[in-house]
Amino acid sequence: LARGPVEPDLAGRHVVISAGGTREPLDPVRYLGNRSSGKQGYALARTAVARGARVTLVEANTGLPDPAGADVLHAGTAVQLREAVLKAAADADVVVMAAAVADFRPAEYATGKIKKKDGQEPAPITLVRNPDILAEVAGERARPEQIVVGFAAETDNVLANGREKLRRKGCDLLVVNEVGERRTFGSEENEAVVLAADGGETQVPYGPKEALADTVWDLVSSRLG
């Protein structure tokens, strides 16, 4: 992507970004997962590097090459992602949760492959809740002036649901994507509205994920002391 010279407005800042989607194993060969490509999180990492930040990218199952200039940590499950994000967040100025974290995981992990048996119905899969990483990071604030950003994909009542989620998570900014038939996962482009805890609302027109990423950094930058 062609870019002009970039203002290093994030120089001296440590930003932590999660990207991708967690996978919750059922047995050694199967998992519950989601369709997150990780591309938006990687765009956030590239643009933050370009703006001078020290970037820690915690990636889950993206298969994408490490972006130049970022420290990349790898996590598989929500529990692993939580551990990596909380550790990196300890000295972070900004935490952006762009990863799709599985809300639930199988209550039990079968150490051997689950086999079917003739004439037998499959056993139901019992799920348990995963920790809410964004709510935890936002609620505990490793540093009082830390900026915390969440993402949300909504299909209906996008703004009302977004406002409610922003409040519930306790974050400073929430990037809300409208998902539907036209909006496919894995796309290079994105359209969103960024809601702020102080009431702000920034529309980002359909365009490259870098453009949305730069809008997020503009809003973050103006809130950093």
Binding site for Ca ion (CB under 5 A): 103
Q: Residue 7 Cβ, how far from ligand CTP at the closest point, in Å?
A: 26
132 annotated as a binding-site residue: yes
What binding mask, one character per residue, do residues 153-192 give for ligand CTP by CB under 6 A, x or -? x-----------x---------------------------
> Alpha-carbon distance 36 to 132, whole Å?
17
Instruction: Name which of 8 and 184 has its Cβ closer to ligand CTP.
Output: 184
- Is 118 labeled as ligand-binding? no
**Spatial distance between the Cα atoms of 60 and 101, rounded to a whole number of angstroms:** 9
103 part of the interface to ligand CTP, by CB under 6 A: yes
Distance CA(13)–CA(52), nearest Å, equals 8
User: Per the annotation, does 17 bind a ligand?
Assistant: no
How buried is residue 31: exposed, middle or buried, by Cβ count under 10 Å (0-12/13-18/19+)? middle
**Binding residues among 126-145 for ligand CTP as defined by CB under 6 A:** 130, 132-134
Q: What is the C-alpha separation between 209 and 214, in angstroms, rounded? A: 9
Does residue 131 have a known ligand-binding role?
Answer: yes
Tokens linked to 224: 């950093």
The count of residues interacting with ligand CTP (CB under 6 A) is: 14
What letters, b where the CB count within 10 A reaches 16 and e where it falls short, cover 163-194? bebbeebbbbbbbbbbeeeeeeeeeeebebbb
Indicate the residue among 43 and 152 with the shorter CB distance to ligand CTP. Answer: 152
Which parts of this chain interact with ligand CTP (CB under 6 A)? 78, 97, 99, 101, 103, 130, 132-134, 150-153, 165
Catalytic residues: 34
